[in-house]
Chain A
Amino acid sequence: MTDPTDVPGAPAAAPASSGREGRGTTPRMRRRRAAVVLALVAAVLVAVVALVAGPGVVRNLATTVADGDASIELTSGDAKAVAPVPAGWAVTRLPWEGDRATLRSPDGVLELDLRLASDAGASTGLDPLAAAAGLAGAPAAVSSESLEDGMTWRHADVDASLLPKPDADPVVAFLAEGAAAAPGAFEQTASRIGVTARTARDRSFADYRTAVAQVLGGITIGAGA
């Protein structure tokens, strides 16, 4: 169809605007108001979605699954650590956190949070890890093991009594701190990697000790590139 105003010979129509203005608001104004409202609603929606789904989106976008045995590199100041990622494990690395990565077992039960620190003045031991994990305190009994590659690890299982929320899921099950140093020089070593292991509440960490040992046993710490 064509606009009747364009039909030759048709009588001239009254100016459209004069009639609409006569009713108080023009359609254009109503459309503008509607557009503003719609824009505001959309903005709120976007904000809500960003708040709710944003972290998940970022995390998922930052997560990759290792097709085969792989490794990741963490850096902090002059320090560099390389950690193995077994095939099938998921790695989450946020672009702005080069010193940190989270490894998750293929079944999703075990989560290893790795964080490299290079602060010579930082306190050593598992207390900072326990505090960061929200535990009521650090484990009292700590094991120390030195591996043939020069790494020394201090680690401890987390007793249920240290969990502030007994019904939390996943559960903080294990803390470890490693350094490329002999046991006697551990305290003086600036570069250390902290590990916090969490497991699904309904699963036993004991079943994953060997998996943890395999990952931690492959971690090396050296000078930054």
Chain B
Amino acid sequence: MSPAPGAPGRPRTVAPGRAASRLPRRAATALAMASALAVLLAGCAPATNPDWTPPQPTTGQAASIARPADGSPSAPQAAGTLDPASVPGLSPQRLQSQRAGIGARWTYLPGGNAHAATFNERLDAVVQSAIDDQRAHAGTPKYAPAAQPKGSGLGDRGCTSGASTRDAAAILGDPASAPQGAGGPVTALVCDVVVAGGTFFGERIRIVEGTPGAVTRDTATTIVTDTATGELVEGRALFTPDAAAGVYALAVAALRHEAGALWDVRLAPPSPAALDAVDRALDAAFIGPDGSLQLAVPGSIDAPELASLAGAAALAAQPSIRLSLPAGASSGFLTPFAQRLAAAAAAPYAGPADVAAAFDRVNCALVPCVALTFDDGPEADTTGRLLDTLAQHGAAASFFLVGRNVAAGADLIRREQAEGHTIGTHTWSHPMLTTLGTTQTPAPAPTPTGTPGPSGSPPPAPADHGPSAVMQEVTRAIDAVAAITGSRPVWFRPPYGDVNDSVLRDLARVGVPAIDWDVDTNDWQKPGTDAIVSAAATADAGSIILMHDIHATSVDAVPAVLDALADRGMVPVTLDHLFGGRVPAAGTVVRSAR
């Protein structure tokens, strides 16, 4: 018996037709698999690694172009500078004179301690030098502080972030930095706060001369002080003598990459012209808040390694290219002082603390100073509010106190003293002194040399107080104030400004001058804020402005008065400050500091 078909051991036979149908099926299957494999292979490209980051520039590109938002390396930008508002207590300053062709903005350190004073005095010297240079170069009239026309906008003062890195023509063409319409070359001095870290504070001063169409001078320097020691270092002195060559190499490397280079190359030794350009750049360089070295080099700097690059021509057309060298790359170029500065640049600021405005520096030889004076207080309802307003506006003032009000207002007087305002007296009971008897003469008929009494009402009837009545009125008030402040006031204002020779002689015996005024706001008539402001705004450098702190309407008008004075460039100071700390001679009448 033969095994059943298909059983093991028996050859397998397939019908020809069935075999023919299986072959294409197998081939189709194979083809389908091949196609699927092909599709699979086509989609199986080597995997990418999205986390991979391309290599970064090496040390040769340590210096980078400081690029503003619009991408132009030389356009205005504030790279590496600070917002002055972020530094507490700074005292912003501004002067402007179209006649003298000068505009200047700078910022003092607060207070008057010796270390701050050293820095502030240096700023004054730089400003004065710019004024002198303007006159020498442009032949403009001598500058004298003076109130500017209404609407001058001079309340905007001090350094502004990025101001010193702007295009020179833009600085001259901006009414915020230079007088416009002077008809000839002018000088603008602008500044940036560049360092306020640890005990270090630095300001970069830029001086530009000429017209927006023709800049004839463009210099900058950075003044840095360690406020803990008073050490003051300026400009190129922040850097080692041989820093220029190293900075040149980094600068050219950065410029090469800006111009399209792919590689760092070995540079030829810099030419004297190139080194000179870098030295000038270092003179204007500064250490930024992050410790980086910020400087600007001319785009046309002499460097043969730039010549063959695609962007060389565009670079050469740039008057200056701002570069930023990170702290690590620039430390070798810094003096020990600058190294300490760079290390402290990012630390919390620990410079001079904020103080009341009266203790801040104001140089009345540079800016038009005025004295805002308030009579008849203190008054509980109004004087405190006035002091608040003065503090908010950073203004100082002078108070002529009536003796009989002193006891009730002792705390207000102490506050006036603590905030640095000048405290004077205004007699004990506010009489017309010419109606009182003097030491050597009987009571004379009233012959006021000052402004008539308020409201035009007739002065009080003469009363025979005896020969010492004037002196008693004056000294009693002085004694009352001294009992509170601990020092005898030396400033005195006669009520109604009413004095005569006899009164003045008695004032001389007491040892006080008669401080009158040249600007009367007539605020006691309550004419409204606009009228008070209009009257006050007629002040000029050296003016003494009369107001009263016992009237709510007067105090209400003070913010607008301060704004109006600031708009015209004036700075309210105390009488002590207005007269340079020298009290006018006793027994003399003074109406202004002019």
Q: Which residues of B contact A (CB under 8 A)?
A: 4-6, 16-18, 20-21, 23-25, 27-28, 31-32, 34-35, 38-39, 41-46, 48-58, 257, 259-263, 265-266, 308-311, 313
Indicate which residue in B20, B44, B52, B260 contacts A156 across the interface (CB closer than 8 Å).
B260
Cβ–Cβ < 8 Å partners of A225 in chain B: none
Chain B proximity mask over A15-48: 1 for CB below 8 Å, otherwise 0: 0000000000011100110111011011101100
A31 vs B15: C-alpha distance when bound (angstroms): 12
* Docked pose: A61 CA to B43 CA in angstroms: 11
Q: A38-B24, A156-B260 are in contact. Are A56 and B31 (CB under 8 A)?
A: no
CB distance from B421 to the nearest CB of A (A): 59
Shortest distance from the beta carbon of A75 to any chain B beta carbon, whole Å: 24
Report A167 CB to chain B, min CB distance, Å.
22
Contact with B along A193-205 (1 / 0, CB 8 A): 0000000000000
Name A126-161 residues within 8 Å CB distance of B: 139, 141-148, 153, 155-157
Contact B262 A35 (CB under 8 A): no
Which residues 36-68 of A have a CB within 8 angstroms of B? 36, 38-39, 41-43, 45-46, 49-50, 52-57, 59-61, 63-65
> Are A155 and B35 neighbours in the complex by a CB distance under 8 Å?
no
B42–A145 touching, CB < 8 Å: no
Q: Give the CA-CA distance A163 to B400 in the complex, in Å.
A: 79
Please indicate the chain B residues that have their CB under 8 angstroms from the CB of A185 in the complex.
none
The one of A3, A42, A56, A213 in contact with B28, judged by C-beta atoms closer than 8 angstroms, is: A42
How many whole Å from A195's CB to the nearest CB in chain B? 11
Chain A nearest CB: distance from B171 CB in Å?
Answer: 31
The one of B18, B263, B310 in contact with A141, judged by C-beta atoms closer than 8 angstroms, is: B310
Q: List chain B residues, Cβ under 8 A from A188.
A: none
Q: Which residue of A lies closest to B7 (CB)?
A: A2
Say whether A106 contacts B48, CB under 8 Å.
yes
Asked if A209 meets B262 with Cβ closer than 8 Å, knowing A39-B28, A42-B31, the reply is yes
* Across-interface contacts of B24 in A (CB, < 8 A): 34-36, 38-39, 42
Contacts of B28 in A (CB 8 A): 38-39, 41-42
Q: Contacts of A45 on B, CB cut-off 8 Å? A: 31-32, 35
What distance in Å separates the Cβ of A3 from its nearest Cβ neighbour in chain B? 6
Interface hub of B43, B48, B54 (most chain A Cβ within 10 A): B54
CA–CA, A106 and B24, complex, Å:
44
Chain B residues lying within 8 Å of A214, measured Cβ to Cβ, are: 55
How near does chain A come to B246, taking the closest CB pair, in angstroms? 21
User: Is B38 touching A54 in the complex (CB atoms < 8 A)?
Assistant: yes
Indicate whether A60 sits within 8 Å of B265 (C-beta atoms), given known contacts A106-B52, A107-B52, A157-B260.
no
List chain A residues, Cβ under 8 A from B17.
Answer: 26-28, 31-32
Taken together as a complex, chains A and B put the C-alpha atoms of A26 and B311 apart, in Å, by 83
Contact A52 B42, beta carbon cutoff 8 Å: yes
Given the interface pairs A49-B39, A145-B265, A217-B263, the reply to whether A35 lies near B23 with Cβ below 8 Å is: yes
Q: List residues of chain B with CB within 8 A of the CB of A142.
A: 310
Taking the closest CB of chain B, its distance from the CB of A53, in whole angstroms, is: 4
Q: How far is the CB of B26 from chain A (nearest CB, A)?
A: 10
Report whether B31 and A141 are in contact in the complex, using a CB–CB cutoff of 8 Å: no
- A63 contacts B35, C-beta separation under 8 Å: no
User: What are the residues of chain A within 8 A of B53 when measuring CB–CB?
Assistant: 107
Q: How far is the CB of A49 from chain B (nearest CB, A)?
A: 4
Q: Which residues of B contact A28 (CB under 8 A)?
A: 16-17, 20
Interface centre among B23, B51, B260 (most CB of A within 10 A): B260
Known: A35-B23, A213-B263. 6 other contacts (CB 8 A): A31-B17, A42-B24, A53-B39, A88-B49, A143-B310, A146-B265
CA gap between A207 and B39 in the complex, in Å:
34
With A108-B48, A143-B309 as given contacts, are A210 and B54 in contact (CB-CB < 8 Å)?
A: yes
Cβ-defined contact, B38 with A50, below 8 A: yes
Determine chain A's interface SS by DSSP, over half rule: helix
Chain A, interface size category, equals: 35 or more
Contact A32-B20, Cβ < 8 Å, known A46-B35, A183-B308: yes
- Complex: A144 Cα to B58 Cα, angstroms: 21
With A28-B20, A46-B35, A53-B38 given, is the CB distance from A147 to B263 under 8 Å? Answer: yes
- List 28 A-B pairs, Cβ < 8 Å: A28-B16, A31-B20, A35-B24, A35-B25, A39-B27, A42-B28, A42-B31, A45-B31, A46-B34, A49-B35, A54-B42, A57-B38, A63-B46, A106-B49, A106-B52, A107-B48, A107-B52, A108-B50, A142-B310, A143-B308, A144-B308, A145-B262, A145-B308, A147-B263, A210-B55, A210-B56, A210-B58, A213-B262
- Chain B contacts for A122, CB-based, 8 A: none
Do B20 and A46 touch across chains, with their CB atoms under 8 A apart? no
Tell me which residues across on chain A come within 8 A of B39, comparing CB atoms: 49, 52-53
Asked if B54 and A105 sit within 8 Å, CB to CB, the answer is yes
CB-based nearest B residue for A142: B310
Q: How far is the CA of A39 from the CA of B25 in the complex (A)?
A: 8
Asked if A83 lies at the interface with its beta carbon under 8 angstroms from chain B, I say no
Hey, which chain A residues are within 8 Å of B259, CB to CB? Answer: 143
Name the residue on A nearest B305 (C-beta): A145
With the chains together, A141 CA to B44 CA distance in Å? 40
User: Are A42 and B27 in contact (CB-based, < 8 A)?
Assistant: yes
In the complex, what distance in Å separates the CA atom of A213 from the CA atom of B594?
71
Which residues on the B side are within 8 Å of A90 (C-beta)? 46
Separation of A36 and B39 alpha carbons in the complex (Å) = 25
Chain B minimum-CB-distance residue to A208:
B54
Considering the complex, give the chain A residue whose CB is closest to the CB of B57. Answer: A210
In the complex the two chains form, what is the Cα distance from A214 to B56 in whole Å?
Answer: 11
Per-residue CB proximity of A77-108 to B under 8 Å, as 1/0?
00000000000101000000000000001111
CB–CB B262/A65 < 8 A? no
Min CB gap A102→B, angstroms: 12
Across-interface contacts of A63 in B (CB, < 8 A)? 45-46
B41 & A56 in contact (Cβ 8 Å cutoff): yes
A61, A145, A183 — most chain B CB neighbours (10 Å):
A145
Question: Is the C-beta of A212 less than 8 angstroms from some C-beta in chain B?
Answer: yes
- Please name all residues of chain A whose beta carbon is closer than 8 Å to the beta carbon of B266 when the two chains form the complex: 148
Of the residues A38, A61, A143, contact of B41 by C-beta under 8 Å: A61
A211 at the interface (CB under 8 A from B): yes
Please name the residue on chain A nearest to B44 by beta carbon.
A60
A6 in the interface (beta carbon within 8 A): yes
Cβ-defined partner of A56 (8 Å) among B23, B43, B51, B56: B43
Q: Which residue of A lies closest to B314 (CB)?
A: A141
Please give, as numbers and ranges, the residues of chain A lying within 8 Å of B34 by CB-CB distance: 46, 49
In this complex, what residue of B is CB-closest to A56?
B42
Is there a chain B Cβ closer than 8 Å to A180's Cβ? no
A116 beta carbon closer than 8 Å to chain B: no
Neighbour of A42 across the interface among B6, B20, B32, B50, CB < 8 A: B32
A181 within 8 A of B: no
**A117 is an interface residue with CB less than 8 A from chain B:** no
For A35, give the chain B residue with the smallest CB separation: B24
| Nearest Cβ on chain B to A170's Cβ, whole angstroms | 13
Contact of A212 among B50, B257, B262 (CB under 8 A): B262
Pairwise interchain contact A211-B54, C-beta atoms closer than 8 A: yes
